[in-house]
Amino acid sequence: MQRAAAPFAYRQCVGIMLLNERGEALVARRADMPPEMAAWQMPQGGIDWGETPREAALRELEEEIGTAEVEIIAETRAWLTYDFPPDVALRVWGGRYRGQRQKWFLMRFNGADGDIDLGHEYREFDAWRWVDPEHVPSLIVAFKRQLYFAVIAEFRPHCRTVRERGRVRP
């Protein structure tokens, strides 16, 4: 009797919803996509061997946007997953993964916009901007959209708190 092939594994990752003092979320445009297919996303990346999700989130943020001037506010209660479309699954990471399994972190940005620097050795993004968190899913590629809705729903109460604190100046 022949057994069915095991499904591909999920790549272990982190995602970061970074908010400024106005409660807006940072989104960045992937540099590896043609301009007509502008693919925006929040920072995310893989967890290295021996790294905790929290450590990975801080490292990824610094690698991708050039700063770690942040404060962690919350993290998702559970790991969230999304599957790649079949053509994408075959192209990325040698076809080893069916999608990604992510722990998301909500962070407050404590720096200035000038601290954000996308110009690194391997440049993942070529542009960035702040947007209302409720608008973020409309900018995301379709196969990640449900995950983004879940992240925003879980972090929504914290987003309001950040926005309210940003309006109050000592």
Per-residue pLDDT tens digits for 120-160: 667 889 899 999 999 999 999 889 999 999 999 999 998 86
Per-residue pLDDT tens digits for 57-76: 999 999 999 988 999 999 99
**Single pTM value for the model:** 0.87
Q: What are the domain boundaries of the chain? A: 9-111+118-167
> Could you say which architecture CATH assigns to the domain 9-111+118-167?
Alpha-Beta Complex (3.90)
By residue count, the chain amounts to 170
pLDDT at 88: 81
A 10 A CB-CB count for 47 gives 21
Range 72-98 burial, b when 16+ CB lie within 10 A, else e: ebbbbeeebbbbbeeeebeeeeeeebb
